[in-house]
Structure 1
Amino acid sequence: MSFLNPNPEDTSPLQKNLLRIMRIFLLVAGIYITIFGGVNGAERIFGILILVALVIINSPRVFTGNRIRAIPVEIELLLLAMVLFELVGGDALGLYVKIPHYDNFMHFMLPLYIALIGMMIVYTMYYYGRLKASLVEMAILIVIVTIGLGGVLEMGEYTYDKYLSQGPIGQITGNTQMQGSPTQDPLDDTMNDLFTDTAGGIVGALLGVLLIKRAEKKGGHWKIADEIENMV
Structure 2
Amino acid sequence: MNNNEFEYSEKTKRRVRIFKRILSFIVLILAIATMVALFYVKKEKMRVRLFFSLLQYIAMSIVLISPRLLKKFANFEVPVEVHISVTAFAFLGLVLGDGLNFYGKIGWWDSLLHFTSGIILSFIALWLLQMLILRRKYLFMHRALLYIFVVAFSLAVGAVWELCEYTVDDIFHTNNQQYMATTRATIVSSDDEPLEGHDALADTMKDLALDLAGAILVVCYECSKKEITQYYVLKKD
TM-score of the two chains, using structure 2 as the length reference: 0.71
1:33-91 Cα distance to aligned partner (Å, 9 max, x none): 33333995331001111111112123322241x2x1x3222222212212221112211
Q: Which residue of 1 aligns with 2:22?
A: 25
**Equivalent in 198, 204, 211 of residue 218 of structure 2:** 204
Cα pair 1:142 1:201 within 8 Å, conserved: yes
Q: Which residue of 2 aligns with 1:225?
A: none
CA RMSD of aligned residues (A): 3.0
Q: Measured at CA, do residues 24 and 11 of structure 1 come closer, stay the same or move farther in structure 2, by a change above 3 Å? A: same
Give SS of 1:133's match. Answer: coil
Q: Which residue of 2 aligns with 1:142?
A: 150
1:1-40 Cα distance to aligned partner (Å, 9 max, x none): xxxxxxx844373x44542332012211332333333995
- Distance in 2, Cα, partners of 1:12 & 1:205: 31
1:103-139 Cα distance to aligned partner (Å, 9 max, x none): 1101110121111011122133235446421233112
Q: Measured at CA, do residues 215 and 198 of structure 1 come closer, stay the same or move farther in structure 2, by a change above 3 Å? A: closer
The number of equivalent residue pairs is 198
Gaps of 5+ in 2: 1-5, 36-45, 185-194, 233-237
Structure whose CA Rg is larger: 2
Is 1:62 aligned with 2:76? Answer: no
- Distance in 1, Cα, partners of 2:220 & 2:128: 14
Q: Which residue of 2 aligns with 1:152?
A: 160
- Distance in 2, Cα, partners of 1:88 & 1:199: 25
TM-superposed CA distance for 1:96, in Å, is 1.0
Q: Measured at CA, do residues 46 and 144 of structure 1 come closer, stay the same or move farther in structure 2, by a change above 3 Å? A: same
Q: Percent of counterpart pairs with the same letter?
A: 25
- Distance in 1, Cα, partners of 2:200 & 2:26: 30
Give SS of 1:178's match. Answer: coil
Gaps of 5+ in 1: 1-7, 166-175, 223-232
**Equivalent in 122, 130, 133 of residue 123 of structure 1:** 130
Q: Measured at CA, do residues 54 and 210 of structure 1 come closer, stay the same or move farther in structure 2, by a change above 3 Å? A: farther
Q: Which residue of 1 aligns with 2:9?
A: 11
Q: Which residue of 1 aligns with 2:43?
A: none
Cα pair 1:126 1:133 within 8 Å, conserved: no
Q: Measured at CA, do residues 124 and 205 of structure 1 come closer, stay the same or move farther in structure 2, by a change above 3 Å? A: farther
Q: Measured at CA, do residues 11 and 134 of structure 1 come closer, stay the same or move farther in structure 2, by a change above 3 Å? A: farther
Map 1:80-95 → 2, pairs under 5 A: 80-95=87-102
Deviates more, 1:82-91 or 1:55-64: 55-64
Give SS of 2:50's match. Answer: coil
Deviates more, 1:16-25 or 1:185-194: 16-25
Is 1:41 aligned with 2:56? Answer: no
Q: Measured at CA, do residues 120 and 162 of structure 1 come closer, stay the same or move farther in structure 2, by a change above 3 Å? A: same
Q: Measured at CA, do residues 209 and 31 of structure 1 come closer, stay the same or move farther in structure 2, by a change above 3 Å? A: farther
TM-score of the two chains, using structure 1 as the length reference: 0.72
Cα pair 2:121 2:153 within 8 Å, conserved: no
**What is the identity, as a one-letter code, of the residue corresponding to 1:138?**
L
